[in-house]
Amino acid sequence: MVTEKKKKTINRLQSMYPLRANIDEMYKRVVEASKVGKPTAWCMVNWWEADPILKAMDIELVYPENYGAVCAAVGTAQTYLSRSDADGFPTHMCGYARNCFGYAARMKELGEIPPEAPLGGMAKPVLLVSSGALCDARYKWFQALGRYVEAPVWTMELPHPGVVESQKEGAYEGAIAFMVKELREFIEFLEKLLGKKMDWDKLAEMTDDLVKVNRVWFEINELRKARPSPMNSRDFWSCMNASLYPSGDPKVSLKLYQDMYNEVKSRVDNHIGAVENEKYRLAFAELPPWHDLKIFDELAERGWNFVVESWAYHPPKPIDTSQVSDPLRRIAMHTYQWLTGYFQDALAPREYMGYFAFPYLEWARTYQCDGALLHPLLTCRTATNHLMLVQDRLLNKLKVPSLVAEGDIVDLKLFNHADTMKKAVIFEEIMDHYKQARREAGFEW
């Protein structure tokens, strides 16, 4: 009997697979490095404040937040969440942190990487690098890991410019100077910990490579504005880690992103979409339910193409730092740009937009979205607080409606797949209504 293979509804980029493989292999590379005594660290996403420095010091990095997503996607997370719950950590706490606690508890109990750990597991670290950016859970998470892991914790600090005063004269220079000072102290700490000196030429080269990586990744995402959009959010999420964290050797990542740019450009030139019949173009916010990514395939069957997503995981708007000779200042400028690149525009309308909410407004317009799927994360306030503002502004400024589907990044118990699909069907009628309303109001799409 011949069985017809079901056609994939999302036309995945071929260049995504080697990029994703390179990201996944990071875990094995770090385990191997650990076995031969090379220094390894667990590192939070820090928008590059620490990554170039750690890489230049030859420290092998894994990222527990990324690993939380991996564990959720392959179905291992519930084991670690249950273990975290059993150890008394609150169930409403960050899903990534709970996954990490459960993993670390298992590793301590067994004295080795747990056998069920996907992608070879996270090797035992000699250093924990956390970040003060964006989220309060991240301040305490790695400190709490002290119950299971004997390693020093270093928290990357940076200014929190979420107020209008950050636009005052001198504020930018002050922020950059603060970060550069922090980075110098961090390097001193690492030199003491590892007993070796920073190779400044290597740091400059590393920084340069990472800037190039983000530039290409930015250009790829710009191409997604085409109709039909050549790249679906699933490919974004598969590949963002080589930029955001950044996983792997930047030179390898750069080559793979360039290949991806060529493929996406070719699709644009030939009017090839990521979804065969692109009926609705959508934005997605915030992080997806990693345990239920198949929902995007089901939505693609209905003609939904997710053409843009959460701004905080996108590469920053490019800035020219080619004339900046100090790599630490260059790093600081890029990290600051990553977190504040849309802030000035958000202030311009003289109406409260929220600098977390504003990019969605700009992107819904420039990517010509018919709707947005908002995914409030029940274990993450940072990723959730601004979404009701996003919903309000999208509808009232651009006549772009939003569907709200509560869930979680890791904990599958908090997401209702069937209910979300049911709502999605209703939402199509709403998107149709507002498509007409936008036309009548003179919008371009």
Partner 1 sequence: MPYFMGIDIGSGTSKGVIVNDGKMVASHLLPSGVNYREAAQKVRQELLAKAGLSPAEMAHTVVTGLGGNNLPFANQQAADLPCCARGVHFIFPDVRTVIDVGEQAARVLRVSPEGRVTNFVISERCAAGSGRFLRIIANVLRIDLKDVGPLSLQSKNPVTFTTGCAVFGESEAVSRVAEGAAKEDILAGVHKALANKIAMMVERVGLEPECAITGGGGRDVGLIKRIEENLGIRLLVPPDPQIITALGAAIMAEEQARLTAAPELKS
- Identity of the residue, 334 or 393, whose beta carbon is nearer to partner 1 in the bound complex: 393
Q: How far is it, in rounded angstroms, from Cα 318 to Cα 315? A: 8
Could you say which of 68, 102, 371, 401 contacts partner 1 (CB under 8 A)? 401
- Identity of the residue, 275 or 414, whose beta carbon is nearer to partner 1 in the bound complex: 414
Q: How far is it, in rounded angstroms, from Cα 123 to Cα 39? A: 10
Contact (Cβ atoms closer than 8 angstroms) between residue 69 and residue 94: no
Q: Minimal CA–CA distance to 346: which of 337, 365, 359?
A: 359
Minimum gap (Å) between residue 426 Cβ and partner 1? 5
- Identity of the residue, 175 or 431, whose beta carbon is nearer to partner 1 in the bound complex: 431
- Identity of the residue, 164 or 426, whose beta carbon is nearer to partner 1 in the bound complex: 426
Minimum gap (Å) between residue 433 Cβ and partner 1? 5
Q: How far is it, in rounded angstroms, from Cα 242 to Cα 313? A: 11
Minimum gap (Å) between residue 395 Cβ and partner 1? 8
Contact (Cβ atoms closer than 8 angstroms) between residue 130 and residue 155: yes
Reading the block at residue 213, the tokens are 């990586």
Minimum gap (Å) between residue 435 Cβ and partner 1? 12
Minimum gap (Å) between residue 370 Cβ and partner 1? 14
Minimum gap (Å) between residue 293 Cβ and partner 1? 22
- Identity of the residue, 240 or 377, whose beta carbon is nearer to partner 1 in the bound complex: 377
* Helix (H), strand (E) counts: the chain: 17, 8
Q: Supply angle C-alpha 365, 367, 369, rounded to 5.
A: 70
Looking at residues 203 to 262 of the shown chain, list those that interact with partner 1 (rule: CB under 8 A).
Answer: none
Minimum gap (Å) between residue 401 Cβ and partner 1? 7
Looking at residues 72 to 111 of the shown chain, list those that interact with partner 1 (rule: CB under 8 A).
Answer: none
**Treating both helix axes as pointing N-terminal to C-terminal, what angle do 16-35 and 250-269 enclose, rounded to 10 degrees?**
170
The HSE-up count of residue 70 (CA atoms within 13 Å, CB side) is 24
- Identity of the residue, 324 or 421, whose beta carbon is nearer to partner 1 in the bound complex: 421
- Identity of the residue, 64 or 407, whose beta carbon is nearer to partner 1 in the bound complex: 407
36 binds partner 1 (CB under 8 A): no
Three-state SS at 404: strand
The phi and psi torsions of 357 (rounded to 5 degrees) equal: -85, -30
- Identity of the residue, 73 or 414, whose beta carbon is nearer to partner 1 in the bound complex: 414
The phi and psi torsions of 119 (rounded to 5 degrees) equal: 60, 25
Number of residues forming the site for partner 1 (CB under 8 A): 13
Reading the block at residue 269, the tokens are 């030139």
Three-state SS at 342: coil
Minimum gap (Å) between residue 322 Cβ and partner 1? 48
Chain centroid to CA 114: 26
Q: How far is it, in rounded angstroms, from Cα 68 to Cα 80? A: 9
Looking at residues 412 to 441 of the shown chain, list those that interact with partner 1 (rule: CB under 8 A).
Answer: 416, 419, 422-423, 425-426, 429-430, 432-434
- Identity of the residue, 324 or 430, whose beta carbon is nearer to partner 1 in the bound complex: 430
Enumerate binding residues for partner 1 (CB under 8 A): 401, 406, 416, 419, 422-423, 425-426, 429-430, 432-434
